[in-house]
Structure 1
């Protein structure tokens, strides 16, 4: 997996290794009833819900991530598939071809092919109608195993039956000629190589071309619930395998079984082609339902004795309510707390906890508590609570509704000159953290690469709007000597020097910069920065953003001048410098909680183009997304023709017993190339101003009393 944040070669996950992220997710509650050993939910050998070699029309529950491995000689398949919405499944795989050499490397290693699949549900199953899906296999890779299909699945009691029509790899049996030949002669023949000369492009020129074959099968949920048996009819004949790697097929009927080892861990095995054994393993994670029982400090008693000072109240607000207070003021019957959220993902939770603390301190004349939220000195919004309703709701569940209906939130208002300042504090000047990090990369021509590091992060706040920040990384263990750049491109090497950066320095400065923010108007924000901006680039830049309160639309513009850093990651610079920047539109589509980001601008190699990023955030806070970048680099882009990838962002709050606003991100891109490369800015205004969006603020009210 390769990173799309911070730097473009490996996968940083804050200060925890990606494997720890997965282990923590495994420890958290997953699918309520589990998918392992359940009818119609198994992953195929290729990944994605299916039988063995063939897909079905079935889908996993929305929010499911399935990681699987299978081996059917001479193929080993490693698959990661996501179900972001009920009607769409997407994922990627690597296929290791054991008896074919990776020619470009020239060192005898096995060939490794990568591919992308997607499946669309066309019809839902009813009592009389099957579920119908349209799918595309290996549509975005080299298309060595490319194929399209239309599948229908119907369940009767303990049987789930599928019948499908396949083209390409799924249609090599050629049961019938192309059904679309009457439209145009080109549909009669399928191209021998699709996806562009270098692979990686969407193989639109091959879709539904060539002969067609029937495929299908049946699954039986046995009386022993953990076991599902399978019978499958293949559409492939193994006489047209990629790289002239044809295999003998004694039968197109396959037999298999799936056995649940736990609720979400499943073993699968089978007998395929009439002569070859298959074995595999699948692990399912319910990203939508990730949660963890919390062991946070108990909420304060609203009837507790007053604290000795408002400074003590400020400390309690940070420790118990997760508010880093900058100011507490009193005006008339209102007490206002201004500060940054530092602990709880839900501002509602922080406000309710803070209201309990304020009630114990305020005199009887105070009627309302106001919470003015800011981040990095930028005012974002205000939440207003009735004191009486909040205290009543803290005492009995029956009064929670009265409190909820009395809350309102709006764009932040500035303090009146008449307000009495009860307490004012300066931001915590210096903060630091030291921890391990595992950066890793797999699926490229170099096989699995890793780097185990100790990372020291530090930050010094000069004031509410400005701060110095830096990262120092020491490599304890790695195998980066295996990295070799073998691509062919005339673009400036803006990212493909990554191996040199990673291998050159055992101790390196990953970033060291000064950042400053400002509010330009009611809905306008700005940020400027300069220094060592990331592992590979130093320079200066700025960003301006227009983000109305609780609006689905935001617009941002960043402009940066950067110069390439020396490989030792100290303070020396190389000769290459450039201007880069993008105009970006952010849109909460209102469809399945999907966020769309569209960027247009100039990339690090000087190429011009656009990036489209689509992602969905679930109730747990986990986010799944995909992006693609298309530029005018043309053939110089390198293998694949455009940049693309998938990513998973998981909140620590969903994995650990203490509340947290931190996140870990794991991203996958097929290859590191120089086209479409962006500057990995450490801070961006859309994230800094995220609380301008109310999100699920009102829905979080009931959980605030736990």
Structure 2
């Protein structure tokens, strides 16, 4: 499921994130990545600032595709908390928080925290004769207290990895040379002393400007493989530290070491500035390679005994193939199963298991099995398998070729009635009680959390319509730490979140009726009304134009909403508004990146656009970032524009049972009223994901699992 800025976190981050999912992430972290983790390997360590580097200096190295690194380091008076990602082979990005121990945070907060974003781009891969080259920037938004830009090269020689480069800003404070780019323009001669004081702004006037300094270093892989020794020469002289916090430096040489204590965890320590100790720890997780051995029921044998009737077949299809059957019918020599996938992320796996079940049940006159896949009553696509070719391929892998290239996939068309063998009841009820956690980290008030028990229930009136709702009871929280510090004249459409979370420990998070329809071959529609989310009630509708297997889609949503009372029951406040967007989704074809552009009116009445980029790996993990710019201007307040990162991880990667569900972790530095979007429970683009073939053919081997 695509996760984007259209599901804002309010103040507390991801909603409906199971506490079991969080425990799985942090408890199983060391065991989930592939065995060949990067900890202790030459040229893969995280610098003190995060990102691949030595200690204070970056290198041109990159992590393997999909790597995520969470690290902490302390070098008095700085504590650095870093999260970095490798979404492509040539780009590294991440964010950090620097806590300045000997400075107060201001009138409201004791802790002095400065956030920053980093980016590094590989310009040239290493060859036998050429080093690897990269260009990058640190702390590129906001106050840019530790802002720096650099060019760096790295070359490996046996058990040594050498790096050398030059940097500006924090990496170039020693001022070894005048501006290297001054000959291009006078702009590069002097570095601007101003920064984006409002936070969140990109101060491009500083980029690659002013004096620069040289830096470099060496890493040595010792004969004891877990240990890597480090020596670096840094470009900072600590004589121009942020907040007049200058430090004594007795040497520009730093020495350190990295020690792997598992495939994915390493400790690092060093001696910096000639007089200061450094210590830290790094956890690595390869998002692209997440996997877990499954304990699912085995596919039934080809020669299994038939079931008593087709109702029993429907149950076996649910239990073994993981699909919710709506109808089973026969037309001529073909059996058609109309169903919704429920368990396996790969439709190829569901179809392979279902083929075995149908083969055991169908009489000899049936030549093909057809699957009409749908979601919430919306027809999405159809797959047709030749029965004889499937059985041959299941018997001998040498015959898979005929079956694989004989599968017929197309957009779902209107079916002729045929003979109904089984039809599921139209009305269904389901519920679930589970612990969940809302969380947010990175704001000025630190890590906030709310542990709650949530009762989710759904009553399906027919395949296209359903009532859904959730009740939440707070069990444990630290929301007393929340402070509203926004300086904005916009209506308070999101910054009342503290009042919503503290008014009552029990509330109705949402209660609505939703209905879907397919208006034509490529046009889908959805309408909804009720208590749409924690803070808003109202009605809305959405349209989506999505051609079959096309790399793009267009949609629009329109909503009238009114703010709910703080106790999250059924009373409403006075504020009401219209909000809606035109949405474009584009599979770029570049590194599996999905781009989403939304233009429209936000909850505070401001008008603007949201740009969202995300990438899904073969493991099912999706990583993304978004930003929203509106005409709120100075009224937005600190932060300048809305932005955030998110990580959607399939539960399938953590547990021994297969699942199509995901846990979503989000990071949003500040909650503001500008650029705020309605948190809709369902979106047509998500519901119609199987409209696109995706990796179906690459996942063909899952047919036999």
Bin for the TM-score computed over the shorter chain:
over 0.9
Q: Residues of 2 paired with 1:116 and 1:428: CA distance?
A: 50
SS in structure 1 opposite 2:519? strand
Residue 13 of structure 1: CA displacement? 5.6
Take 1:320 and 1:13, find their aligned partners in 2: how far apart are those partners? 30
User: What are the superposed Cα offsets for residues 127-153 of structure 1, whole Å, 9 maximum, x if unpaired?
Assistant: 000000000100023211000000000
The aligned counterpart of 1:654 is 653
| Residues 367-404 of structure 1: per-residue CA shift (max 9 Å, x gap) | 00000001000000000001011112222222222221
Partner residue in 2 for 1:314 = 314
Matches of residues 53-452 of structure 1 in structure 2 within 5 Å? 53-105=56-108, 107=109, 109-194=110-195, 196-417=196-417, 419-427=418-426, 429-452=428-451
- Range with greater deviation from structure 2 (442-451 or 670-679): 442-451
What whole-Å deviation, never above 9, does each CA across 1:183-233 have from its counterpart, x for those lacking one? 333322212222x23121112111011100001100000111000000011
| Partner SS state of residue 167, structure 1 | strand
- Match in the other structure for 2:519: 520
Contact 2:142 2:198 in 1 (8 A): no
Per the alignment, in what secondary structure is the counterpart of residue 356 of structure 1? helix
- The answer as to whether partners of 1:218 and 1:230 remain within 8 angstroms in 2 is yes
RMSD between superposed Cα atoms in Å: 1.4
Partner of 1:560: 559
Q: Distance in 2 between matches of 1:3 and 1:381?
A: 27
Using the TM superposition, give the Cα deviation of residue 306 of structure 1 relative to its aligned residue in structure 2, in angstroms.
1.7
Contact 1:321 1:354 in 2 (8 A): yes
Question: Against the structure 1 CA distance between its residues 22 and 13, is the aligned structure 2 distance closer, same or farther, given a 3 Å change threshold?
Answer: farther
- State how 1:608-623 maps to structure 2 within 5 Å: 608-623=607-622
CA distance in 2, matches of 1:533, 1:54: 48
- Write out aligned runs for 1:600-615 (5 A): 600-615=599-614
**Per the alignment, in what secondary structure is the counterpart of residue 406 of structure 1?**
coil
- Cα separation, partners in 2 of 1:118 and 1:172, compared to 1, 3 Å: same
1:64–1:461 Cα change, 3 Å? same
Q: Distance in 1 between matches of 2:114 and 2:279?
A: 20
Which of 12, 16, 19 lines up with 2:18 in the alignment?
16
Instruction: Give the stretch that moved more between structures: 318-327 or 679-688.
Output: 318-327
Residue 583, structure 1, aligned to residue 582, structure 2: yes
Q: How does 1:492-531 map to 2 (within 5 A)?
A: 492-531=491-530
Q: Give SS of 1:220's match.
A: strand
SS in 2 for 1:521: coil
Paired residue for 1:42, among 33, 40, 45? 45
> How far apart, CA to CA, are the structure 1 residues paired with 2:625 and 2:107?
28
**SS at 2:491 equivalent:** coil
Assess, with a 3 A threshold, how the Cα gap between structure 1 residues 4 and 330 changes in structure 2: closer, same or farther: closer
- Measured after TM superposition, the shift of residue 5 of structure 1 is 2.9
Give the distance between the partners of 2:653 and 2:632, measured in 1 at CA: 41
Instruction: Point out 4+ residue stretches in structure 1 off by more than 4 angstroms.
Output: none
Report the CA distance between 1:633 and its aligned residue: 0.7
CA contact (8 A) 1:7 1:536 kept: no
**SS at 2:337 equivalent:** strand
Residues 103 and 4 (structure 1), Cα distance of their counterparts in 2 relative to 1, 3 Å cut: farther
Deviations 1:432-467 (A, max 9, x none): 111111212222111221111111111110111000
Write the distance in 1 (CA, Å) between the matches of 2:624 and 2:538: 29
Verify: 1:26 aligned to 2:29, yes or no: yes
Note the residue ranges of structure 1 that are not aligned, 5 or more in a row.
Answer: none
1:426 positional shift: 2.1
Give distance in 2, aligned partners of 1:212 and 1:387. Answer: 70
User: More displaced, 113-122 or 649-658?
Assistant: 649-658
Structure 1 residue 305: Cα displacement: 2.1
Shift of 1:499: 1.0
Q: 1:27: how far off?
A: 5.6
Aligned mates of 2:604, 2:180 — CA distance in 1: 45
Question: What TM-score, normalized by structure 2, do the two folds share?
Answer: 0.98
Structure 1 residue 42: Cα displacement: 0.2
Pairwise CA distance, 1:427: 4.4
Deviation at 1:6, TM superposition (A): 6.0
Show structure 2 runs of 5+ residues with no match: none
Deviation at 1:309, TM superposition (A): 0.7
Q: CA deviation at 1:180?
A: 2.3
The aligned residue for residue 631 of structure 2 is 632
Distance 1:348 1:89, change over 3 A: same
Partner secondary structure for residue 120 of structure 1: strand
Q: Which SS does the other structure have where 1:620 is aligned?
A: coil
Name the CA distance, whole Å, in 2 between partners of 1:247 and 1:574. 53
Q: Would the aligned equivalents of 1:177 and 1:210 in 2 still touch at CA under 8 Å?
A: yes
Q: Distance in 2 between matches of 1:508 and 1:422?
A: 44
Q: Secondary structure at the match of 2:112?
A: strand
Counterpart CA distance in 1 for 2:107 and 2:384 is 63
CA distance in 1: counterparts of 2:575 and 2:24, whole angstroms:
37
How many Å separate the matches in 2 of 1:203 and 1:37?
36
Q: CA deviation at 1:413?
A: 1.9
Counterpart of 1:667? 666
For residues 570-628 of structure 1, the C-alpha deviation after alignment (integer angstroms, 9 at most, x for no partner) is 11111111111110100111111110101111111111111111111000000111111
SS state of the match for residue 405, structure 2? helix
Residues 184, 415 of structure 1: CA spacing in aligned structure 2 closer, same or farther, 3 A cutoff? closer
Using structure 1 for the length normalisation, give the TM-score.
0.98
Query: Which digits, 9 at most, give the CA deviation of each residue in 1:325-368, with x for residues without a partner?
Result: 11111111111000111111111111111110111111111000
Instruction: Give the drift of 1:24.
Output: 5.7
More moved, 178-187 vs 325-334: 178-187
